[in-house]
Structure 1
Amino acid sequence: MEARDKQVLRSLRLELGAEVLVEGLVLQYLYQEGVLTENHVQEIKAQATGLRKTMLLLDILPFRGPRAFDAFLESLQEFPWVREKLEKAREEATTELPAGTLPPPDPRKTNSRRYRKTCSSTQHR
């Protein structure tokens, strides 16, 4: 996912959480399109509340490839007002990352000791 799209999801996180987006067809569409795995869908559905389900989806989406944001927009047929808000924010968004800077790695997939060691060794160069 592009840094701009990650920024949009982050900036609208609380508003999106309030919408309980995971009910209905959103998860199934994202699964159908290969954005979510079966394990993702099960993990999201296992959450106790709609807010937690939506927040987990928002945590997963940025790490699901370059098409994840567009597929998410397409999945929001039941929530046209949310889709419009995301599209508007996307148009207005400017990436805050300087050219050549990588976004932070997915903390769920990073060996934290190795990551800290790598970060600290690059800072002293």
Structure 2
Amino acid sequence: MDARDKQVLRSLRLVLCSEVLVEGLIIQYLYQEGILTENHLQEIKSQATNHRKTMLLLDILPTRGPKAFQTFLDSLQEFPWVRDNLERKRKEMMAEDPVVMNTMRLSRKSDDDALVFALLCAMDRNYSRSSCTWTIGFGCKKQPLRGGITSFCR
């Protein structure tokens, strides 16, 4: 799950706990789609209250891969207002900080990362020297890449 989606879940955590009943179709759908394991189901069901069940699900989801957030949205068929709220918050966060949302949180581990970094900078004119340094984790200095290509940041 990407950083934006984790932040959306974190920011709406208490709202989700008060409005979503995870015991029914939600956890079964997430299990069917491979987001939750059988152990996850048992652990969630063993919680005493719906509030705790939802909290546990929200703790598990960010660890379950890149499709977890979208699959969670798909599971909210019985709660369309909650889904709408999550999607609205996701769009708001993207509008507030498009640089962070477009980056994939790269680190300078390989030339491939540097190439992706260069392409992101070239595609998005909103990148600035400071935002690239903060978001990507390595400076906007020229980085030599394979084949003599040089990365840059605007």
- TM-based fold match above 0.5: yes
Displacement after TM superposition at 1:58 (Å): 0.2
2:23/2:45 contact within 8 Å kept: no
Distance 1:49 1:20 in 2: 12
Counterpart position of 1:9: 9
Is 1:70 the counterpart of 2:106 in the alignment?
A: no
Structure 1 unmatched ranges of 5 or more = 102-125
Distance 1:87 1:53 in 2: 22
**Superposed, which structure 2 residues align to 1:1-125 within 5 Å?**
1-93=1-93, 94=97, 95=100, 98-100=134-136
Larger radius of gyration: 2
Identify which of structures 1 and 2 has the higher relative contact order when contacts are C-alpha pairs closer than 8 Å and 6+ apart.
1
Percent of aligned positions that are identical: 70
Distance 1:44 1:68 in 2: 16
Displacement after TM superposition at 1:8 (Å): 0.2
Distance 1:17 1:78 in 2: 15
Displacement after TM superposition at 1:63 (Å): 0.5
Displacement after TM superposition at 1:20 (Å): 3.4
2:35/2:64 contact within 8 Å kept: yes
TM-score normalised over the length of structure 1:
0.76
Displacement after TM superposition at 1:23 (Å): 2.7
2:20/2:79 contact within 8 Å kept: no
Structure 2 unmatched ranges of 5 or more = 106-133, 138-154
Q: How many matched pairs?
A: 101
